[in-house]
Amino acid sequence: KITLCQVRDTYKRFNELKEFFDSQSIRTIKMTPDEHDRMAASSQGITHFVGRVLNESGVRSTDINTLGFNELLGVIEQTCNDSWDLFSDLQKFNPYTNEMIDNLVTTIANIHKQIKKDAN
């Protein structure tokens, strides 16, 4: 699939490009750049962020991996094989990734706090 944002269509080729992708069985999704950035922060941005965090925290395969854990290892493999520059650019050039990271960090802290509370 490919996202198309109809901006600065100087050569009036948006519809031609959309028809080409459609003819190649590539699903086209039309949205504004702002919609794209919001969705990308909560999909691509969070995936790359979590993959890097898991890798840096030392998460590794074990003899008793579950299906879900193997999927997390797949996220690490997928995201950490990309360059640091790509990761950094995904985070710093999307205006919504900081908000996503802040929300994720806050949520992790809140859940951790609740687990500690439940243990007492």
Q: Over the stretch 45-66, which tens digit does the pLDDT of each residue have? A: 999 999 999 999 999 999 999 9
User: Which letter does DSSP use for residue 4 in this model?
Assistant: E
What is d(CA 64, CA 109) in angstroms, rounded to the nearest whole number?
Answer: 27
Which one, of 39, 53, 41, lies nearest residue 105 by Cα? 53
The single-letter code of the amino acid at 103 is: N
Which one, of 57, 54, 91, lies nearest residue 76 by Cα? 54
| pTM for this entry | 0.85
63, two tokens: 């003899």
Band of residue 36 on the pLDDT scale cut at 50, 70, 90: very high
Which 3 state secondary structure label does DSSP give 3? strand
Q: Which residues contact 61 (CB under 8 A, 6 or more apart)?
A: 73
pLDDT of 8 over the 90 cut: no
